[in-house]
Structure 1
């Protein structure tokens, strides 16, 4: 995933870095083709275009190369280089190179501040997310989290896993918005899930506990808008690992990957996100699906399916998961995220993913049972 991010980042900055030498080449070609044309205004832009993308040394060097090019072109046209028009041109080049050096320092300082803010926000976000075990009896798990490149605020993505006597219980969700308010909702929801997952006997009670907690946080925050909400999926894999129960609260449907096929686990009845439960009844719809040995359940947040390419098309996670993939949750997530970063230049929103694979039964073949609700 990091390799694809580096490749995308390199392609984004390649053409701006090529602009200063391209301007010098154009100035030389124009001067050779049309000697009366004054190329000093073109050469004067070299250091300015270099300032946002080059280091200080390269910015000054670009200005020096432009100055030397201007002197050579002027000497080619006439041995009397020290004329009034040429002196004005050389002075302009030197002045703009000095200005570009100051601009370069300003740009570098702002880039460093933004990079530090992003690192702090991502560190805080990762610290809020609990550690997920790689293995529990009969299951293997993996998680991935990637902060948005365009943001420097704490995101609202969350996930958590608990292995309980009632089964393996998981939640993945996305809080609307960013910043301290979303962090408060993330902490409140994770706390409610941790307590309810261990104490309540059924999945609807876990969802109701989370709903009550989100409503309570909104009631205590007078500045919180009414439309604050959390989309989430709650999953309970039965103790014998043969099937799962799922409650979807307005979240993108999880995908079940098995035997080269991908099945979107769409809820039979749509439900409102957490925080808007007072607009719906108290009943929590729960769907049940079989979980064959070797199948992988993939859950993700909005940042993945809302990622766009250059034409504005949304990312579809189904194609990269279709075909032969190992029964390994980490490999499945890596395949999906590699395709994601081939699709988009930058993530506009944070992206979190959680996958769980039912390990093949010991001494038996993988089941070929169809997935059915």
Structure 2
């Protein structure tokens, strides 16, 4: 089945293919108007627009050809009407030639800008692969899928994080959202994931993992100055699926509640007691509450960041997965996340204001 994003990509490619004909069309229209109208009418605007349009849309060779074509067409029409020898004709031809030369310079500047952009994209991809783990498709009876979508076009990573680790205490997961953007947020993602990977292997309880994350993020916040020293927190959910028993343990630290999906129903798992985000525990009680909920075969746990629930349509209505997913069944976590991204894209018209991380885990029967 063809997805809406694939359809939009095909439309964009078709538009670009038609736009590539624009420089030639400008030359043809300019020459036609110049030839068929009064000798005192000049199509100089068309002749200068053609190479500049080629500079923005086409290759260096096409830009040079458009500039040569513009100069030849203008010179031919000036000769036809007998203006090639007077000062006005020479000035017009010089202007067309100058703009054509500038178009070549503009084309090179655009090319070098594209080269830098491609380099930045490759660096972003390398950074993503270094920080955000490549998750296995399954661990025992658990099937796993993840999606990450940045709010910034062409960016590959932002302030959202996720992780899944097979440990002696079961499969442990984390999803989180760092307050803030930019390189500072990426640094916090690195600290949080490093602390999670170490603590998940060593701590016998999920609360112990949360305490280790809290200390690591608090140390990172203490190194900062200004508002980030106080406001450098992370909302997140920690999940643990023990090797035995059809249950899962959850700790929610100020994050959107996960969803449990089974038999076409979607139930938000609200924390039994609200808790402050990670790195702000000193402002609240020291005890970390762990909730235990059923996780039978056939159920799917959906963890997500607030980029999903903050997606709005044109009327300003927020996307609510708890009301959009009931009544639908999915063969696995991959299909669930693909359908979810398609649905939220349709709801928001493709406009996103925040990064979005989605993590789905299905327990097979």
TM class by shorter chain equals: 0.7 to 0.9
Deviations 1:45-97 (A, max 9, x none): 2322332332212222333444455456667xx53252543432222222111
Q: 1:126-141 residue pairs with structure 2 within 5 A?
A: 126-141=129-144
1:57 aligned to which of 57, 61, 69: 61
Q: 1:272 aligns with which of 259, 276, 290?
A: 276
Q: How far apart in 2 are the matches of 1:269 and 1:240?
A: 26
SS in 1 for 2:185: helix
The 5 A counterparts of 1:41-190 are: 41-70=45-74, 79-82=81-84, 83-147=86-150, 149-150=152-153, 155-190=158-193
Once the two structures are overlaid, the 10-residue window that deviates more, 29-38 or 112-121, is: 29-38
TM-score of the superposed pair, with normalisation by structure 1: 0.78
- Structure 2 partner of 1:369: none
Pairs within 5 Å for 1:253-332: 253-306=257-310, 321=325, 324-332=328-336
Match of 2:239 in 1: 235
Counterpart of 1:40 in structure 2 is 44
Q: Which residue of 2 aligns with 1:359?
A: 364
Secondary structure of the corresponding residue to residue 327 of structure 1: coil
- Structure 2 CA distance, aligned partners of 1:132 and 1:286? 25
How many aligned positions are there? 358
Unaligned runs of 5+ in 1: 361-373
* Aligned residue in 2 for 1:366: none
Please name the residue that 1:11 is paired with: 12
Q: Distance in 1 between matches of 2:332 and 2:156?
A: 32
Structure 2: how far apart are the matches of 1:49 and 1:256? Answer: 53
The residue matched to 1:226 in structure 2 has which SS? helix
Say whether the 8 Å CA contact 2:248–2:295 is kept in structure 1: yes
Structure 1: distance between partners of 2:75 and 2:327: 62
Q: Secondary structure of 1:57's match?
A: helix
Task: Quote how far apart the aligned CAs of 1:116 are.
Answer: 0.9
Aligned counterparts of 1:121 and 1:19: Cα–Cα separation in 2: 34
- Asked if structure 1 preserves the Cα contact closer than 8 Å seen for 2:239 and 2:251, the reply is yes
Cα deviation digits, residues 137-156 of structure 1 (max 9, x gap): 32111223345554668633
Change (3 A) 1:202 1:104: same
Structure 1 contact 175–231 (Cα < 8 Å) conserved: yes
